[in-house]
Amino acid sequence: MINLDMARKSPVAKTIPALRKATATFRAAGETVALVPTMGALHAGHLALVKLAQSRADRVVVSIFVNPTQFAPHEDFGTYPRTWDADLAALSELNVDLIWAPGATEMYPDGFATRILPEGPAKAGLEDAFRPHFFGGVATVVAKLLLQVGPDIAVFGQKDYQQLKVVTAMARDLDIPVKIVGAPTVREKDGLALSSRNAYLSQQEREVAPVLHQTLKDVAGHIKGGRKIQDALAVGRAQIERAGFSLDYLEVRHAETLAPISSPDDGPIRLLVAAKLGRTRLIDNIGV
Ligand code: AMP
């Protein structure tokens, strides 16, 4: 016997009127709504966000939109992996209630003229120092997604830790009535954080990639063991470069404000790293 439920595909909205119609039905039934924003190329990390969202709300909307405004001209917008059929199958299997998949002109129609320029955590000197256009693009598209879907909660991964802080501040500052929820990073067995960009790694690079997470753990261990933060960072930076990465940053920051800190007494600590392996840029972070 065919299980019709298994074969059911999640509904897809591609226009704002179709999206509003679907979310209005949820609202009319008194149901709560969670949004999980993604750029597609879904992996188990994204699906963990979906499951967390399902545990927190009656209905889950997953957006899939590769946002051109968060890529610089030299970055990988054109080659970013697009795996629509597999994404649709994975979300359907989880019974996601709605997939919001606008085209670029639905999101940015002719004459589009408004941009959010986040400060605070968006100017922490981490990702913003290497991708100056990035958080403006992210904040603007996430504000639009939140206003389009009108969710009660929106789930973001701690994998993109600075982004989580930027989005949280943006929603608070603009009085968008949503709770931003951070979800833990899902990793491969060897510690490498799952990322759509891991698909760019050669076999040899893939073998080296876990050094990033290993180094974060080592540096955290040194700090917990009482070593001076700057000394622990120097050891970590050398370890990453020795493995063949080109390091953008390895930093210790206050876990909430992202301000630099020099002693563990200055507050909860987050260790953040970004480095290139060949042409692939990887980021990761852990709490200490
Ligand atoms: P992306 O489509 O890669 O921009 O990511 C969409 C959402 O998934 C963001 O909130 C990311 O932080 C989150 N995410 C990406 N990778 C992971 C991971 N390995 N574990 C948990 N969340 C993740």
Active site residue 222: no
Candidate from 160, 167, 186 with most ligand 1 atoms within 8 A of CB, to mutate: 160
Give yes or no for residue 150 CB within 6 A of ligand 1: no
The 10 Å Cβ neighbour count of residue 67 is: 21
Residue 234 has pLDDT above 70, yes or no: yes
Give yes or no for residue 131 CB within 6 A of ligand 1: no
pLDDT, position 47:
98
pLDDT, position 7:
66
Residue 1 has pLDDT above 80, yes or no: no
- Give, using CA atoms, the residue closest to atom 17 of ligand 1: 45
The encoded tokens of residue 129 equal 């120092």
d(CA 13, CA 88): 12
DSSP state of 195: -
pLDDT, position 267:
87
Sign of the torsion angle spanned by Cα atoms 260, 270, 74, 146: negative
d(CA 155, CA 180): 6
pLDDT, position 5:
53
Atom of ligand 1 nearest to the CA of 41: 2
The 10 Å Cβ neighbour count of residue 141 is: 21
Residue 3 has pLDDT above 90, yes or no: no
- Give, using CA atoms, the residue closest to atom 11 of ligand 1: 157
Give yes or no for residue 160 CB within 6 A of ligand 1: yes
pLDDT, tens digit (0-9, with 9 covering 90-100), for 151-192: 999 999 999 999 999 999 999 999 999 999 999 999 999 999
> How does residue 4 score in pLDDT terms, banded at 50, 70 and 90?
low
Choosing from 43, 46, 213, 222, the catalytic residue is 46
Overall average pLDDT of the 1-27 stretch:
86
* Predicted TM-score of the model (pTM): 0.96
Give yes or no for residue 236 CB within 6 A of ligand 1: no
In the beta sheet, which residues pair with residue 183?
157
DSSP state of 122: G
Give yes or no for residue 222 CB within 6 A of ligand 1: no
